[in-house]
A and B are shown apart, each in its own frame.
Chain A
Amino acid sequence: MRTDPIFGRLDWSVTPFDDFAADPSLNEFVATAAAAMVPLGALAVIAFLTWKRLWGPLWRDWLTSADHKKIGIMYIVLAGVMLLRGVAEGAVMRTHQVTALDGGMLSAEHFAQLFSTHGTIMIFFVATPLVTGLMNFAVPLQIGARDVAFPVLNQVSLGLTAAGAGLVMVSLVIGKFGTGGWTMYPPYTGKAFSPGPGVDYWVWAIFISGIGSTLAGLNIAVTIYKNRAPGMRFLRMPMFTWTALCTSIMMVYAFPALTVASAMLMLDRYLDFRFFTNDLGGNMMQYANIFWMFGHPEVYIVVLPAYGVFSEVSATFSAKRLYGYNSLVIATMAIAVISFTVWLHHFFTMGQGANVNAAFGIATMIIAVPTGVKVYDWMATMFRGRVRLSVPIIYLVGFFFLFVFGGLTGVILANPTIDYQVHNSQFLVAHFHNVLIPGVLFGVLAGIHYWFPKAFGFRLHERHARWAAYLWFAGFSLAFLPLYWLGLMGMPRRAASYDNPAFEPVMWVAAGGAMLVVAALLLTLWTFYSSARDRAELACPLGDPWDGRSLEWAMPAPPPPYNFHALPYVKALDPFTIEKAEGTPYCAAERYEDVELPRNSALGLWIGAASGIMGFAMVWWIWWLAALGALAIIGGLIARAFVTDTTRTIPAAQVKRDHMAFLSRVRRARPVDRDKETAPANMGLADPEVPA
């Protein structure tokens, strides 16, 4: 291939815009419109920020902030943007499949790009940053910490994740994404069969963001080990923190496998190594093996925090202590360990012996047991509780129905003999959407609804959010449950077209479901907008709108930068509930002390930008720019080593003043009982329910 010393293999032919002029088909129209969306969206954001003069605040309060709450929110915003694209791609694919009997509106290659980016985005740039964001926001608040253990490293993690997401976004406009699916199995994705830049986009996006996720996991795990408030023993930690601990440890151990797999594929593609090639002793089966050593734990990495959210909301919205706390802890740890022993079930059909398959099949069935324990625990928590059917509980109930169904199909698939029949069919597509959407997405949406008032000081519109929840439920069911049928009828996954007319009506149902999912997403966005618009009415600045049980609910909303006016002493599980029952919440501290907080830093932004540029340059073989990007990364790290002034101090007097002001607002406010939870009267001061 021709390469220019300055532009590498980049030239004007790589954008899709001229393709539409050359070939004005529907296929090219979809590609061009999607590509136009990226620069137009970026322009709109830039224009909005300039118009509202928000560049300064954006820089000071967000991009350079080392505050874990801000970083957590930015993770979730990033995931939200990527979710828009992921859902849009899903809807386009479903539309295509309606027309795909003997053909279809999109070209096969375009369709393959769609399912590849859809999967890549949803796993790496939606699910992972969503749970990372929730953990970042909530964990320090729940354990009584002022920040995470390494606040600037936290920025770097976010920067690397954003760089990876940016690369996937850029691939829409400049060049094309790979067509190997989200797992990008070689040898198809090797240099011999996919010489273009598409796979390289994937490789670099995954390599960069994977390192970010490893570091994020490290940070949260160390935070939970080292930064807990006095008295916060492991068995007094809220359940969400427990799941965050297990997830972050899993991230530390699982993401290296992804880093290795993508780096090896990279070496194959750039330097002609023979890891996974067909010739000269390469072994493509090793790729599947290494990839899934990451891939299976990843499933639990994203779902465990969702379990944690459900644990929190089932207790809070039932006004009852969490049932079976110890069993939930044990189940979480069991899942975390067993999830490292089941990876082979993703390639039962690769050709290894029956003994190997049987062992991994049994391990896969075993891992369903602790999950079952959890479901029973949540139901028992709600049993005879005073359950409020508010939005998080709606998601939880939806989860009960749908996730258990998805989990059961997983147990079916765990049997290698059955897996041989339905492997790579739509049955599988139905199964993993059935665990990931009702599991991860419902859990995260419940968590967002639950913690949003804590983060921003106002609640989300209950009515809009409720309808969005119903729509997610209905849309998911229609869009994915029919695929079980299709799979059993023999329709393969990732097929751009089919010749069996019996598939078509089912595809219509699924497409209808996809439209409902789009509507659910739009209504979710509308909920944020309308809630922000009516924030005066929804305000709950006193910080306890749901009669919460753990430490984070005792502070104002949004919390001050230093989180706690004084580090709490924790005597038991559900400390805030106990305080409220004993009538001793909202006390002034005996002594206020100076608080040290991390200073703002541009390091995360710098490393993120530099690695994004390096990745882009590598994709297009612009070697000088790639070297510059790498040097910028190393230089940034070295420069950081010379910075000594990394903290700022908030004087005790100011902490005291803030806290006294908060306490006097609490004294003046009128507590509301649970009947008025969603009424404007709920300023965030709870009239406590039955004692703990």
Chain B
Amino acid sequence: MKTDARSELRRYITGAALSALLTAAAFWAVVSDGVTRGTALWIVGLCALAQIAAQLRFFLHIGAHTKREDLYLILFSVLLAGLMIGGTIWIMASLQTRMH
């Protein structure tokens, strides 16, 4: 039991440390003068994805052991959210270019 508690505590600490690290990296990319806007956006985006993955893994315990229906649920949600976000941006950008 005790080792369980310790290894689980370690998971949460790992998750928090990873999240803090990734957040710091994203902030650094924006604040630092040496990084161009394009690169900074890439770094921010990748850090965000990595941090979401880390929190899902270490805080929400999603991984290889979860039941497949839950993984499907999350993937399906991401698919639909992606369709809605991507579609909206595509449509409105096309509209915008033609309105000028």
Contact = CB atoms under 8 A, between A and B. Distances in A.
Note whether A and B form a binding pair. Answer: yes
Interface in B82-100: 83-84, 87-88, 90-92, 94-95, 97-99
Given A225-B69, A351-B99, A353-B98, A285 B92 contact: yes
Contacts of A257: 84
10 contacts: A225-B69, A286-B88, A290-B88, A340-B83, A344-B91, A351-B98, A352-B98, A353-B97, A353-B98, A356-B91
A350 B95 contact: yes
Interface of A: 225, 249, 253, 257, 283, 285-286, 289-290, 293, 340-341, 343-344, 350-353, 355-356
Given A290-B88, A352-B91, 13 more contacts: A253-B77, A257-B84, A283-B92, A286-B88, A286-B92, A293-B88, A340-B80, A340-B84, A343-B87, A344-B87, A351-B98, A355-B94, A356-B90
Nearest to A254: B80
Contacts of A293: 84, 87-88
A356 B94 contact: yes
Contacts of B88: 286, 289-290, 293
A341 B83 contact: yes
A149 to B, nearest CB: 14
Contacts of B91: 289, 344, 352, 356
Interface in B45-100: 69, 76-77, 80, 83-84, 87-88, 90-92, 94-95, 97-99
A341 B77 CA distance: 14
A220 B77 CA distance: 17
Contacts of A344: 87, 91
Contacts of B97: 353
Contacts of A356: 90-91, 94
A344 B86 CA distance: 13
Contacts of B98: 351-353
Contacts of A225: 69
Which of B83, B91, B92 is the most central at the interface, judged by chain A CB atoms within 10 Å of its CB?
Answer: B91
Contacts of A340: 80, 83-84
A253 B80 contact: yes
A352 B94 contact: yes
A344 B87 CA distance: 9
Contacts of A285: 92, 95
Contacts of B94: 352-353, 355-356
A351 B95 contact: yes
Contacts of A350: 95
A352 B76 CA distance: 28
Nearest to B90: A356
B49 to A, nearest CB: 22
A293 B83 CA distance: 10
A355 B94 CA distance: 9
Contacts of A286: 88, 92
B95 A352 contact: yes
Nearest to A343: B87
A225 B94 CA distance: 40
Contacts of A253: 77, 80
A283 B89 CA distance: 13
A286 B85 CA distance: 12
A356 B92 CA distance: 10
B18 to A, nearest CB: 30
B82 to A, nearest CB: 10
Interface in B28-47: none
A473 B87 CA distance: 39
A351 B98 CA distance: 7
B69 to A, nearest CB: 6
B99 to A, nearest CB: 7
A493 B80 CA distance: 32
A285 B69 CA distance: 36
B59 to A, nearest CB: 23
